[in-house]
């Protein structure tokens, strides 16, 4: 379905600039303009691992003792998103799954952590990474065109800058995924995701960012028990 009126009325988004429309107003606009079925895709895209729906998925899932609870919940969310009816949404979830897994695997190999406890999901990329193989011959380069760029992220010591560079890679993926879409649902979904990226960084100082991400890393080491 096309959304010519909606998309043509949206302000342009630029990296490094705050969106003109507040996040809540954008959500309200999308809820009003999208069909109920398409709006549910926006709700899926903004889901987090602690969403109530993930509680239901957790209750239905088989027990496991390799991942931390947070990582397992994240895995269930990825698996749920990769079953969406919309191709763009499925590919977005898989892109982020691969991105985070490759980054985690690279860091584990660099510092000698247990890679088995850092990889989530069970797609082809996850299975290759669990073997500790990030070489070109592993098949990763074919499955993940951005492999070189993702691996390079692990070399950025500043956690805040690493996260910014990661979001830039996400932004680039969204641009390429909608390159030949015109006023379609995928354009609206990509706009929402790009606006979400900008809002996430809006007003975040270097000191605040380092505090947040240092806390995340500390939690990972505690929960996953590297």
Q: How many residues are listed for the chain in this entry?
A: 226
User: Which residues are within 8 A (CB) of 84 and not within 5 positions of it... i.e. 6 or more apart?
Assistant: 41, 44, 90, 93
Do the beta carbons of residue 166 and residue 103 sit within 8 Å? Answer: yes
Confidence band, pLDDT 50/70/90 cuts, at residue 36:
very high
Mean pLDDT of the chain: 87
Percentage above 90 pLDDT, the chain: 62
Do the beta carbons of residue 84 and residue 93 sit within 8 Å? Answer: yes
Quote the pLDDT of residue 65.
Answer: 84
Quote the pLDDT of residue 210.
Answer: 54
User: Which residues are within 8 A (CB) of 79 and not within 5 positions of it... i.e. 6 or more apart?
Assistant: 121
Quote the pLDDT of residue 125.
Answer: 93
Q: Which of 149, 165, 184, 154 is nearest to 35 (CA)?
A: 184
Q: Give residue-wise pLDDT tens across range 79-116.
A: 999 999 999 999 999 999 999 999 999 999 888 888 88
More confident residue, 220 or 198: 198
pTM of the model: 0.87
Angle between helices 206-224 and 159-177 (to 10 degrees): 90
Q: Which of 146, 100, 145, 94 is nearest to 124 (CA)?
A: 94
């Amino acid at each position: 379905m096309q959304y010519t009126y909606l998309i043509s009325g949206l302000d342009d988004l630029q990296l490094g600039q705050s969106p003109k429309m507040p996040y809540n107003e954008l959500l309200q606009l999308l809820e009003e303009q999208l069909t109920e079925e398409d709006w549910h895709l926006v709700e899926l895209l903004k889901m987090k691992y602690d969403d109530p729906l993930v509680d239901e998925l957790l209750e239905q899932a088989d027990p496991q003792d390799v991942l931390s609870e947070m990582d397992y919940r994240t895995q269930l969310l990825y698996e749920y998103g990769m079953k969406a009816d919309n191709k763009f949404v499925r590919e977005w979830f898989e892109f982020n799954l691969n991105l985070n897994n490759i980054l985690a695997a690279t860091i584990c190999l660099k510092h000698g952590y247990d890679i088995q406890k850092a990889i989530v999901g069970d797609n082809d990329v996850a299975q290759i990474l669990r073997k500790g193989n990030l070489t070109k011959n592993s098949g990763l380069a074919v499955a993940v065109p951005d492999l070189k760029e993702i691996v390079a992220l692990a070399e950025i010591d500043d956690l805040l800058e690493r996260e910014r560079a990661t979001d830039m890679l996400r932004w680039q993926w969204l641009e390429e995924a909608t390159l030949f879409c015109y006023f379609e649902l995928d354009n609206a979904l990509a706009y929402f995701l790009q606006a979400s990226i900008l809002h996430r960084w809006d007003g975040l100082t270097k000191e605040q960012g380092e505090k947040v991400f240092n806390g995340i890393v500390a939690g990972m080491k505690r929960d996953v028990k590297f």
